[in-house]
Amino acid sequence: MSRPGNKIIQAKLVLLGDMGTGKTSLALRFVKGQFFQNQEPTIGAAFFTQILSLSEATVKFDIWDTAGQERYHSLAPMYYRGAAAAIVVYDISSIDTFVRAKKWVQELQRHGSQKLVMALVANKCDLESKREVQTEDGEQFAQENGMFYMETSAKTAENINELFYEIGRRLAKVLPPRQTGINFKNETQEHGRKFFCCST
Amino acid sequence: MYGTKSKIDLAFEYQSQIPVLRPSIHSRRANLTVKFQDLYGFTVEGNVDDVNVLNDVREKVRQQGRVWWALEASKGANWYLHTTIGQGSALTSSLKFSALANAITLKKLIKKGIPPVLRPKVWFSLSGAAKKKSTVPDSYYDDLTKAVEGKVTPATRQIDHDLPRTFPGHPWLDTPEGHAALRRVLVAYSFRDSDVGYCQGLNYVAALLLLVMKTEEDAFWMLAVLLENVLVSDCYTNNLSGCHVEQRVFKDLLAKKCPRIATHLEALEFDVSLVTTEWFLCLFSKSLPSETTLRVWDVIFFEGAKVIFNVALAIFKMKEDQLLLTHHVGEVINVLQMTTHHLFDPDDLLTVAFDQIGSMTTNTISKQRKKQEPEVMKELDQRIRKLNSLKADNK
């Protein structure tokens, strides 16, 4: 699958966002090309892998898809620890999910890896008639926070591949080849970490 | 509401109508993945071997039923409902002896499985749900559901969001009646204990309780006794602190009982709670086939939450050789998922869980929990403070 002479990147990617915003659906669309209208809620987290072949590099994604309900927040550091990329998802038809997405971004800026590639994803863009969050608001927040912004629909598959290709391209720029995603962070930060411990 | 209950009973008749599956020659030849319905109406995917295993399980369930009926004939009707160790100090010594003998028989019997038709009665009594219910007026559940009807809270909104997403495609749960029954149980509970409210994961637990107990009211009381008496407290509240404690206890136990696996996974930087959190919060309902899950629950309701540790350890133990060969987090998860999804024969799992893991008393587990609690609370507290300082910085 990898092209000869091409560098191989192993990257941990985490999906964060409020419940019901479509995190699992995004992952399933990208990994298996599937979509289920009634996707079962994720408890704890789910894990997927997918390989993307770009002209710059071959990216092996380890995708951690997390539970969205607020009380599961206390588990999140375990999932985003050592992540090279994060997708923060909200649902364009719910302003509350956008508020929650902003909180995730702040937390990642504080506790995530320094070189974390972050995407702000406005999902369910097929629900245009129910839109509560305007494109400009999403774009502006993304820009202010050094993230890239994309409107997607896991249902119609709009922009799903584009999203992961863009993440792959950005990872190829910042990541050295053949890194294991888990070790991505500065080694000194990794020592002595415990279950909930965030890098400080 | 009473109308709904009779509909549940009607909906359950499908169970007896499912014919025994005989894999066709074609699927045998091609070794295709086939879809079939299991004992509780869930559609599962598996190969021909899995279908055969499931047919064997059906037969074993029937045999086990005959054992229970034979005991009923010799020991008297409902003998098991009066059997608890330590009860009846006023009894004469011979009666005490027979009570103890019954308790031992029952413990063994339950590990071999409660026949599905007796499950509602046995669970309700042995879990303490019957006792819990008897302390309040008979109309408690009906009064509660009526009182909260039409009320909207964050919990009810989340419940509504999850109803169609709970075991979608199930022939009864995924119908308007199924959704309505599950909704009433979850909403009623969210008002009974506002600290728990609604926690994702409970939807799967309550759904399975409804399937087994057959009436909403009994499912509600089972959920109540489970959260309030059987499981460690605060598993599902605000920051899932109880669940965090259980995860730490589990890690210690894994290191003790399966040291080679624990060392290997640590070298891969694989935190076992990445997979076990779901097992503990959904009580395996999202990972194991339905009859296997319910066989685990049979023992949980009789012996307590320590059983979850036995079963979780057993899943790792069963695949020790394969796990030691993994090089990557993804492989570990694949091994564990393939294992849990194909554990169609409950005895394969329970034999390891109770015969090979070694016994752990509730007392030992409680001590472990006490040891972990302060550390968990400290870390959760630190985290909250950090997040709050984050908010303050951004003002």
Answer with the residue of higher pLDDT: A71 or B19.
Answer: A71
B393, with CB counted inside 10 A (0-12, 13-18, 19+), is exposed
For A45, nearest residue in chain B (alpha carbons): B274
Nearest to B330 among A47, A75, A183 (CB): A47
* Interface touch B165/A38, C-beta < 8 Å: yes
**Among the listed ranges A27-31, B8-12, B51-55, which one has the minimum average pLDDT value?**
B8-12
Kindly state the DSSP code that residue B18 receives in the 8-state scheme: P
pLDDT on residue A187: 39
With left for phi above 0 and alpha for psi between -120 and 50, is residue B269 left, alpha or beta? left
Q: Which residues pair with A148 in a beta bridge?
A: A119
For A96, nearest residue in chain B (alpha carbons): B154
Mean local confidence (pLDDT), A77-95: 95
Mean local confidence (pLDDT), B272-277: 94
How far apart are alpha carbons B277 and A78 in whole angstroms?
Answer: 11
CA angle (B209 as vertex; B207, B212 as ends), nearest 5: 115
- The 10s digit of each residue's pLDDT in B310-349 is 999 999 999 999 999 999 999 999 999 999 999 999 999 9
pLDDT on residue B81: 81
- The 10s digit of each residue's pLDDT in B127-168 is 999 999 999 999 999 999 999 999 999 999 999 999 999 999
Q: A-contacting residues of B 106-165, CB under 8 Å?
A: 158, 161-162, 164-165
3-state DSSP call for residue A64? Answer: strand
pLDDT on residue A42: 96
Lay out the sheet containing A45-53: strands in order across: A45-53, A57-66, A7-17, A85-91, A117-123, A148-151
- The 10s digit of each residue's pLDDT in A36-56 is 999 999 999 999 999 999 998
Average pLDDT of every residue of chain A? 87
**Residues of B whose CB is below 8 A from A36:** 168
pLDDT on residue B388: 77
For B287, nearest residue in chain A (alpha carbons): A43
Contact A37, A80 (CB under 8 A): no
**Is A185 a residue whose pLDDT tops 60?**
no
How far apart are alpha carbons B257 and B314 in whole angstroms?
Answer: 10
| HSE, side-chain direction, 13 A CA sphere, residue B255 | 10
* Interface touch A71/B379, C-beta < 8 Å: no
Mean local confidence (pLDDT), A159-183: 81
**Is B13 a residue whose pLDDT tops 80?**
no
* Interface touch B200/A19, C-beta < 8 Å: yes
This complex has an ipTM of: 0.85
* Interface touch A45/B274, C-beta < 8 Å: yes
pLDDT on residue A4: 53
* Interface touch B380/A72, C-beta < 8 Å: no
A1, with CB counted inside 10 A (0-12, 13-18, 19+), is exposed
- The 10s digit of each residue's pLDDT in B58-77 is 999 999 999 999 998 998 88
Domains and CATH numbers, chain B: 14-117 (no CATH), 130-230 (1.10.8.270), 241-382 (1.10.472.80)
Contact B208, B226 (CB under 8 A): no
* Interface touch A195/B244, C-beta < 8 Å: yes
**Among the listed ranges A82-96, B218-232, B255-269, B369-383, which one has the minimum average pLDDT value?**
B369-383
Domains and CATH numbers, chain A: 7-181 (3.40.50.300)
**Residues of A whose CB is below 8 A from B277:** 43-45, 75
pLDDT on residue B45: 84
Mean local confidence (pLDDT), B266-293: 95
Q: How far is B35 from chain A (nearest CA, A)?
A: 18
* Interface touch A195/B248, C-beta < 8 Å: yes
**Residues of A whose CB is below 8 A from B237:** 71
- The 10s digit of each residue's pLDDT in B22-44 is 555 555 445 678 888 888 999 98
What torsion do the CA atoms of B348, B350, B353, B355 make, to the nearest 10 degrees?
Answer: -90
**Residues of A whose CB is below 8 A from B269:** 82, 182-183
* Interface touch A182/B269, C-beta < 8 Å: yes
**Is A170 a residue whose pLDDT tops 60?**
yes
Nearest to A43 among B161, B174, B278 (CB): B278
pLDDT on residue B44: 86
pLDDT on residue A2: 47
pLDDT on residue B5: 44
